[in-house]
């Protein structure tokens, strides 16, 4: 139509709500003409992932009130030093909202536990008869109450616990891994939508399918192991539940072909078989993902150069020469 191969510039019709998120996406890369705009997903994923990191009811409430003040008092802040902040007012509002939401999940208010319902932990009955001197001389633990589930968030009993940091860090790390894999999967699926729209079969079959397969058989499988571990009632030894660690489990999938000292699945042979199968699939997808498209593009360039060198030769002859 235009008589040239120049790619038209990208233009996204934004508004006051999406503008700040679009700027964040453009900082890392601008989608090409007619590609799916990732800013649509970033409008939710960015503030939510911020809340996962900044989850605290107290601190989140301050940010929520700040965003609410900028949103409701937009006209009043014009001409003041805070006018430059109006551009991201909806982003601040959502970041504060999700920070409060995740703070409720973490049960933290200015880094202090919020005491709500009755705790699901109690002192070990064996410690009740000990004298104060005996209690001070030995290490003792709280034990879980039978069939007790804390109604929302992390039980406040973890607040004064000496191993609180170890527990919360591991919990937040695993939640972050699960959310990261979900977000990466969405990003790869967006790539697939672009490939389908452009009718690029090479990119769809030899990039998207190997990429999503590799992600799911490695890190998706790790997420499954994390969730199964959470849902399993592990036996307690020495007052603490003894459960296999996720990272050594994933390492043994490569080094020991799925052989584990302690399996997360009740049927260890099933876990081992699945791990080996996924490992084989991962090794197959890597060369497909890395080699097919570069070889295809290289062949296309070679064909193009051959046509430039021999403009009088027909396409069939050029193909025969290649």
The CA distance from 15 to 47, in Å, is: 18
Average pLDDT over residues 30-49: 93
Average pLDDT over residues 163-186: 90
pLDDT (tens digit per residue) in 74-123: 999 998 988 999 999 999 999 999 999 999 999 999 989 988 788 888 87
Q: Are residues 173 and 301 in the same domain?
A: yes
Cβ burial of 313 (10 Å; 0-12, 13-18, 19+) is middle
Does 86 fall in a domain? yes
Q: Are residues 139 and 278 in the same domain?
A: no
Cβ burial of 134 (10 Å; 0-12, 13-18, 19+) is exposed
What percent of the chain shows pLDDT beyond 70? 88
**Domain total for the chain?**
3
Of 85, 114, 143, which residue sits at a domain end? 114
Does 220 fall in a domain? yes
Q: Residue 282: what pLDDT?
A: 95
The CA distance from 35 to 15, in Å, is: 19
The CA distance from 157 to 44, in Å, is: 32
Q: Residue 99: what pLDDT?
A: 97
pLDDT band at 321 (very low <50, low <70, confident <90, very high): very low
Residue 2 reports pLDDT greater than 70: no
Are 107 and 153 spatial neighbours (Cβ–Cβ below 8 Å)?
A: yes
Residue 179 reports pLDDT greater than 90: yes
Query: Tokens 């081992």 sit at which residue?
Result: 272
Q: Residue 166: what pLDDT?
A: 86
Does 242 fall in a domain? yes
More confident residue, 243 or 223: 223
Are 135 and 86 spatial neighbours (Cβ–Cβ below 8 Å)?
A: no
Of 97, 129, 162, which residue sits at a domain end? 162
Distances (CA, A) of 97 to 24, 201, 221: 19, 42, 31
Q: Residue 216: what pLDDT?
A: 96
Average pLDDT over residues 164-188: 91
Domain that holds residue 68: 8-114
What φ, ψ does residue 268 adopt, rounded to 5°?
Answer: -65, -35
Smallest Cα–Cα separation from 219: which of 187, 248, 281, 177? 177
Average pLDDT over residues 231-238: 74
pTM, full prediction: 0.81
Q: Are residues 198 and 128 in the same domain?
A: no
Are 219 and 247 spatial neighbours (Cβ–Cβ below 8 Å)?
A: no
Average pLDDT over residues 259-267: 90
The CA distance from 281 to 264, in Å, is: 21
Smallest Cα–Cα separation from 234: which of 313, 144, 298? 144
The CA distance from 129 to 131, in Å, is: 7
Count of other CB atoms within 10 angstroms of residue 87: 13
Q: Are residues 98 and 170 in the same domain?
A: no
Count of other CB atoms within 10 angstroms of residue 148: 13
Of 94, 114, 134, which residue sits at a domain end? 114
The CA distance from 307 to 293, in Å, is: 21
Are 205 and 196 spatial neighbours (Cβ–Cβ below 8 Å)?
A: no
* Number of separate helices (H) and strands (E) present in the chain: 13, 6
The CA distance from 171 to 174, in Å, is: 5
Does 96 fall in a domain? yes
């Amino acid at each position: 139509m235009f008589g040239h191969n120049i790619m038209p510039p990208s233009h996204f019709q934004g508004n006051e709500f999406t503008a700040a998120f679009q700027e964040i996406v453009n900082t890392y890369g601008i989608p090409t003409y007619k590609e799916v705009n990732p800013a649509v997903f970033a409008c939710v994923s960015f503030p939510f992932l911020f809340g996962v990191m900044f989850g605290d009811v107290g601190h989140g409430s301050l940010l929520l009130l700040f965003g609410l003040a900028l949103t409701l008092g937009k006209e009043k802040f014009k001409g003041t030093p805070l006018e430059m902040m109006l551009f991201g007012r909806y982003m601040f509002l959502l970041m504060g909202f999700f920070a409060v939401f995740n703070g409720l999940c973490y049960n933290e208010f200015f880094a202090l536990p919020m005491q709500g319902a009755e705790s699901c932990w109690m002192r070990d009955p064996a410690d009740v008869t000990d004298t104060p001197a005996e209690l001070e001389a030995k290490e003792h633990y709280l034990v879980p109450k039978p069939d007790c589930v804390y109604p929302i968030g992390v039980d406040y009993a973890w607040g004064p616990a000496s191993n609180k940091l170890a527990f919360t860090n591991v919990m937040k790390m695993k939640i972050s891994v699960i959310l990261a894999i979900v977000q990466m999967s969405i990003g790869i699926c967006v790539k697939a939508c672009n490939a389908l729209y452009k009718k690029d079969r090479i990119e769809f079959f030899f990039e998207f399918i190997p990429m999503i397969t590799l992600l799911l058989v490695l890190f998706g499988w790790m997420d499954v192991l994390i969730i199964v571990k959470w849902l399993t009632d592990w036996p307690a030894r020495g007052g603490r539940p003894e459960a296999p660690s996720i990272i050594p489990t994933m390492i043994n999938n490569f080094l020991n072909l799925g052989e584990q000292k302690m399996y997360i699945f009740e049927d260890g042979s099933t876990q081992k078989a699945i791990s080996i199968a996924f490992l084989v699939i991962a090794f197959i997808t890597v060369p497909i993902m890395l080699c097919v498209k570069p070889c295809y593009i290289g062949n296309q360039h070679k064909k193009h150069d051959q046509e430039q060198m021999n403009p009088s030769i027909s396409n069939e002859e050029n193909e025969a020469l290649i």
